Structure 1
């Protein structure tokens, strides 16, 4: 009897009953996973090969989902029959506003807060999870991190924070002037796709892009190009999923969420918002935030000018200009 009690207590240290995720979080994650597996490989070959590892951060606890490894400070919970994954939990340590992907406990892991804490509705949150899933796809490319380091932009920073804090000349008057001309030309080129003025606006775009590049020293251009490549194409991937979802029927559980917006409706507002941001967001005011929508717009041009650009994306890294 004593041995039975001993084994039972030991088991409880590894498996806790109850304390699972909220139902609404379960069905959002389930929906994102289903969309990923249905459409991801149609957008990017091999998109679904990396583990879909998530660290879901709530106010009091954080949960590891579809993660191969159990760090010592996580307790194992019951198998989640909605998400179809074993869960591991610990008291919350990460920032509850996180929307990021980075190596954690041996895997490239999406670290994401709740919709309430990240300021997103259910539709936006699901699509953002697919954005972060794309970063797992990027990072799974052989030598991705090695080649990132070989850009020599870290200047001794081994934490990776240089990607956020690089001293780009956001407030340099010459750079701002060239940037505004470039982004206006980029906006006009995207808006003219399929129209009579396409050839003229395309030429103006490439001219303005070259001028912006000339306004930067080589390291600064490498940095902004890296950001367009990494974050801008992740933003584009959100839109690519929304295009695939035009005739997709969301699950009844997700459709019942009070803040769910049908994907086809969200697609239209998404495009308008992010293409307008190309010329609306000011480099000197928001800095690095501009890279998401500029990279998104460049991707729209890329697929018009080089329909097979996606096949070379992970081979020709960190400069979209080389893919045109």
Structure 2
């Protein structure tokens, strides 16, 4: 009887400890993916966006029942210490899950600090490579949001309609279904796509003029507030997508860690870049503004950012100081 009792107690104790470890410690795979994104930003970020590495790379990783907080300077009291991790070289904290596990977003989720709030690759339907690049996209948002006058400047756009949650950024009543807007948007995108395709050809100058003309016509059809919303989305989300591409450009000769290479769903950054360019160009041409709505503006910003690189390579210096209207950056 005594032996049986202690045997059962031992089994229950082992199970309890094992269960505690699985629920309060991050998976090794997620640690090395986050480490890879941070290493890439540390190595190449300043060449793309001056000052980006001064912004904390804070991640709130969402698993099935637990959220893990990485690199946060002062976690809220509902977080407990999980471990002082040797892979990420920081303390990792955890709490019961509060956010949906499919999130891919950046906002002041913990004590007013902008966190990359992200589900695992499995929950967000991304390969390890795509997930790492998405973290870089979201870190760029941290860079945008941390600039001292960001929130004040957004308020001055007068687009929220009193919504303090930030959901207006997704739900703003842009005239996506207007037939006039749809037709001119098609002409604008066709001209933008042609400029992108001819960027290294003799016809670029002519194609660029047509693109600017069609863009101006699109602007003139929009109400001032609607154009402010469009410009805001291109500036914020479109240039974030462009930033993914800029990081991928830097990674052509980059050697990922052995741990990352061994992940079964990892493809090289060079291969992913080729797929990325094709996907974004197809998106520019095939996404429909009345159906895909604001998602269209990601590809617009991606391509317009590349055009800006050709015509004014110094435009990054103005990005945070002269916000929201990226067409201004064409002028040196």
Identify the TM-score tier after normalising by the shorter chain: over 0.9
Matched, 1:189 2:215: no
| Paired residues of 1:17 and 1:78 also in contact (CA < 8 A) | no
Is the aligned partner of 1:283 residue 2:289? yes
Aligned to 1:8: none
| Residue from 144, 155, 158 that aligns with 2:164 | 158
Q: What secondary structure does 1:102 align onto?
A: strand
Query: What corresponds to 1:54 in structure 2?
Result: 59
Report if the CA contact (8 A) 1:17-1:77 is conserved. Answer: no
Q: Distance in 2 between matches of 1:185 and 1:276?
A: 14
Aligned residue pairs total: 309
The equivalent of 1:223 in structure 2 is: 229
Structure 1 gaps, min length 5 = 1-15
TM-score by length of 1: 0.94
1:124 aligns with 2:118: no
Gaps of 5+ in 2: 1-19
Match of 2:267 in 1: 261
State the 1:106 CA deviation.
Answer: 2.4
TM-score, scaled to structure 2: 0.91
1:295 pairs with one of 286, 292, 301: 301
Q: Distance in 2 between matches of 1:247 and 1:144?
A: 35
- State yes or no: 1:44 paired with 2:83: no
Query: Residue by residue, what CA displacement relative to the aligned partner does 1:263-288 show, whole Å, maximum 9, x if unpaired?
Result: 01111110111012111100011101
Q: Which residue of the other structure, out of 149, 173, 184, is the alignment partner of 1:178?
A: 184
Residue 12 (structure 1) aligns with: none
Tell me, yes or no, if structure 1 residue 67 matches structure 2 residue 76. Answer: no
Which of 39, 53, 75 is 1:34 aligned to?
A: 39
Cα distance in structure 2, aligned partners of 1:122 and 1:244: 18
**Distance across 1 between alignment mates of 2:100 and 2:300:** 27
- How far apart in 2 are the matches of 1:88 and 1:78? 7
Aligned to 2:278: 272
Distance in 2, matches of 1:215 and 1:279, equals 21
User: Over aligned residues, Cα RMSD in angstroms?
Assistant: 1.0
State the secondary structure of the residue aligned to 1:291: helix
In the aligned structure 1, how far is the partner of 2:197 from the partner of 2:321?
29
Which SS does the other structure have where 1:231 is aligned? helix
Q: Find the aligned partners of 2:112 and 2:158 in 1 and give their Cα distance.
A: 25
